[in-house]
Amino acid sequence: MGMTITEKILARAAGRDHVEPGDLVDARIDIIMCHDVTTPPAISMLKAKGLDRVFDPDTIVVTPDHFQPAKDIQSAELLKRLDTWAKEKGIRHYYPVGRAGVCHALLPEQGHIRPGEVIIGGDSHTCTYGAFAAFSTGIGSTDLAAAIATGTLWFKVPATMKFVLNGRLGKGVYSKDVILEAIRRIGTDGALYRAMEFVGPALKGMSMEARMTITNMAIEAGGKNGVIGFDEITRAYLDEHLRDKKNYTVFESDADAKFVSVETIDCSTLEPMVAMPHLPSNGKPIGECAGLAMDQAYIGSCTNGRIEDFRIAAGIIKGRQVKIRTIVVPATPTIWRQCIDEGLAQIFDAAGCVFSAPTCGACLGGFMGILAAGERCVSTTNRNFVGRMGSPKSEVYLASPATAAASAIEGTLTDPRKYL
């Protein structure tokens, strides 16, 4: 019986020839992503338990992001604990404030993500890195602590669901719309304990940035990981971004690999989607929700805070004024600099947007754009739970950067296609 990419990677990491869904494996971890919310508790636990060690400092990548630069005294304490530990343990891949960025945008960009590897992070959207034909999944602080100290973690091998993306995306329709449609179909627990593998011709038209938007949201369907096979687009990205350790292993799903389900999405007929409050699965085509008044637009995050996203948004906003509070947050310092060099920052500024330094900030209702009771925000982020971006009485509408930009101009949910 053949294996899927996910099964093959986990088999390799466990030193086995073959695994099957349901098998429990001890996997060697290749990369551990650490940020300011979940890592400081992990560090404290290790200290308290007398396990204060790092199995291999070079597997660890540290970047504060959620509350950086520190938003208050408490978060300053978290950042300080993270900083002290990273220095004390000699973590080479440490991105302090100034170099720090939203983790899931920063790690691939800085060349820490390689195909065939096992990547974990104390963050649910760690599934993003699966876009590089890697196995990557989010865990909590205790798992993180265990992985830091021992270099391994147990996993139950997930069964894989296949998503075939047929056709080509139409104008004004993006990978964000594809993943919102996939989650609409299967629900927020439709992929519980499962791997979500995306295949199909529509991927050929998507950059790595666009693909990461898809795998980023696998967790919003309950998935353990999202994964996309390796191709020329992956190779080109890696050639540009990988620094050291340029070798990697490419795994493909076998022709006779077993998939628990197959879902086909015709990308050609897809419309821009908006996920209504308060679940990412509440997706509606823009035609059914256009005109709804918004108070804020947010363009950023690990889902859609990459350079391509700002190019798309700036293309729509250019020469116009935004009608509502619009907050634009490049996910990493590199993207921030690109926005300035390419003149995008000036476009946002001239239109009346806030152009911020990289941070997670408002995406999780941390700071830099919190919503008041009764306010509505059209957001390029990944989660619209109650209270996610501020008051439990506020509402978040998930959409692509194009839809968010068009909505910012009109002050209501707006079909971006009329601005393209």
Partner 1 sequence: MAKAHVYKRDHINTDEIIPARYLNTDDGKILARHCMEDLDTQFLKKCREGDCIVAGDDFGCGSSREHAVWSLQGARVGAVIAQSFARIFYRNCINCGFYPIELPDAVNLIADGDQIDIDYQAGVIHNRTQNTTIHFKALPDFALEIVHDGGLLEHIQKTASK
Residues that bind partner 1 (CB under 8 A): 24, 37-38, 40-41, 44-46, 49-51, 66-67, 71-72, 74-75, 77-78, 122-124, 126, 138-143, 145-146, 149-150, 154, 188-189, 192-193, 219, 222, 224, 279, 364-366, 383, 385-388, 390, 392
3-state helix, strand, coil in the chain (%, to 5): 40, 20, 40
Residues 6+ apart with CB under 8 A from 236: none
CB of 329 to ligand SF4, least distance (A): 9
307-317 helix and 333-341 helix, angle to the nearest 10 degrees? 40
Neighbouring-strand partners of residue 261: 161
CB closer to ligand SF4 out of 59 and 301: 301
382 binds, among partner 1, ligand SF4, none (CB under 5 to 8 A by kind): ligand SF4
Q: Where are the alpha helices (DSSP H) in 89-196?
A: 103-109, 141-150, 175-186
CB closer to ligand SF4 out of 107 and 405: 107
46 binds, among ligand SF4, partner 1, none (CB under 5 to 8 A by kind): partner 1
Rule CB under 6 A: is residue 123 a binding residue for ligand SF4? yes
68 binds, among partner 1, ligand SF4, none (CB under 5 to 8 A by kind): none
Rule CB under 6 A: is residue 63 a binding residue for ligand SF4? no
51 binds, among partner 1, ligand SF4, none (CB under 5 to 8 A by kind): partner 1
Read off the DSSP letter of residue 124.
G
Contact indicator for 389, 396 with CB cutoff of 8 Å: yes
Cα-Cα-Cα-Cα torsion 281, 258, 16, 119, nearest 10 degrees, comes to -20
CB closer to ligand SF4 out of 123 and 395: 123
Strands (E), 105-221: 118-121, 135-138, 152-156, 160-166, 195-199
Choosing from 114, 125, 211, 325, the residue that interacts with ligand SF4 (CB under 6 A) is 125
Q: Where does this chain touch ligand SF4 (CB under 6 A) — which range of 26-34, 99-107, 164-172, 395-403?
A: 99-107
Q: Where does this chain touch ligand SF4 (CB under 6 A) — which range of 16-24, 96-104, 167-175, 228-236?
A: 96-104
Please list every residue from 357 through 386 that binds ligand SF4, using CB under 6 A. Answer: 360, 363-364, 381-382
Q: Where does this chain touch ligand SF4 (CB under 6 A) — which range of 74-82, 98-106, 110-118, 406-414?
A: 98-106
Tell me the DSSP string of 373-414.
TT-EEEESSS---TTTTB-TT-EEEE--HHHHHHHHHHSB--
83, burial (CB in 10 Å: exposed 0-12, middle 13-18, buried 19+): middle
CB closer to partner 1 out of 308 and 395: 395
344, burial (CB in 10 Å: exposed 0-12, middle 13-18, buried 19+): buried
Q: Where does this chain touch ligand SF4 (CB under 6 A) — which range of 21-29, 97-105, 148-156, 313-321?
A: 97-105
CB closer to partner 1 out of 93 and 194: 194
- At position 58, the amino acid (one-letter code) is D
> Which residue reads 């997706």 in tokens?
283
Choosing from 3, 31, 102, 377, the residue that interacts with ligand SF4 (CB under 6 A) is 102
Neighbouring-strand partners of residue 285: 273
Neighbouring-strand partners of residue 396: 377
102 binds, among ligand SF4, partner 1, none (CB under 5 to 8 A by kind): ligand SF4
CB of 191 to partner 1, least distance (A): 10
Length of the chain in residues, anyone? 420
Q: Which residues bind ligand SF4 (CB under 6 A)?
A: 65-66, 102-104, 123, 125, 301-302, 360, 363-364, 381-382
